[in-house]
Structures are given as C-alpha cells and as structure tokens.
Structure 1
Amino acid sequence: MNPTPPIPPNDEPPPVKNLEFKAALLLVVMVLLVVGSAAYVMFARGVFEPTQRLVLIADDSEGVVV
C-alpha cells in the first residue's frame, strides 16, 4: 500500500470557483423551498378556497346551542 503523504499545514486549499454565484443560488433555492412549502400548507388548509360569511340575527338566543 502506498500511504498518502500528509498535507503540509501551511498549504491552503484551492479557492472554490464561482463561490458567490453558488452561494446566491443556494439562497435562492432555500427561499423558493420555504415559499413553496408555505404556499402548499396554505393550499392544504383551504386558504385559497372561496368562502361566504353568514350572519344570523335573532331577537333572543332561545334554542341556540354553541
């Protein structure tokens, strides 16, 4: 077996190409995931369904069960 030579402590790893682009792309993907999951939860809870408000008016509350 050929052991790999140890990396000298003074050598720095090579710089990552397009680091700013990759970081921005990661942020955009994360924002899209958060917004998409929030939209899915709102859709699943029925936020986008049309609703009607019904107001009942009575002289007294006789026979009303809450």
Structure 2
Amino acid sequence: MQDLEEQIAHLTRTVEDMSDVMAKQQSEIATLTRRVQMLMQREAGRDQDAGGSATFGNERPPHY
C-alpha cells in the first residue's frame, strides 16, 4: 500500500510540474504570436510606403 501511495505522490508531482511547464510555454507562444503579428503589420506598412514595388537581388538599382 505504501508503494502505491509513493507512486501516486510521484505521479501527482510530475503532473503538476508538467502543468507548470505547459503554462509557461503557452505564455511564451502567446508573446511570440503577438510579436510575429506586429512584425507582419510593420512589414505590410513598409510595403505600402514603398508603393508595392519589390526589389529583387538580381536587379540593378535604378541609380545605375
């Protein structure tokens, strides 16, 4: 009986630890998601400011 109680206590602790880790990861995911959205909005603003023109690596700049 004591062995079962020890196993249950160990499993309970493990579940609590995993729950803490998952909560922390969810918070980090939410933060990263907000940052990605912010960067996407910033890049969309840059595209609008540039007039929608795209510069490709193999094209010469207009001042050549």
Q: TM-score range by the shorter chain?
A: 0.3 to 0.5
- Which entry has the higher C-alpha Rg, 1 or 2? 1
TM-score when scaled to structure 2? 0.46
TM-score when scaled to structure 1? 0.45
Q: Is the helix fraction higher in 1 or 2?
A: 2
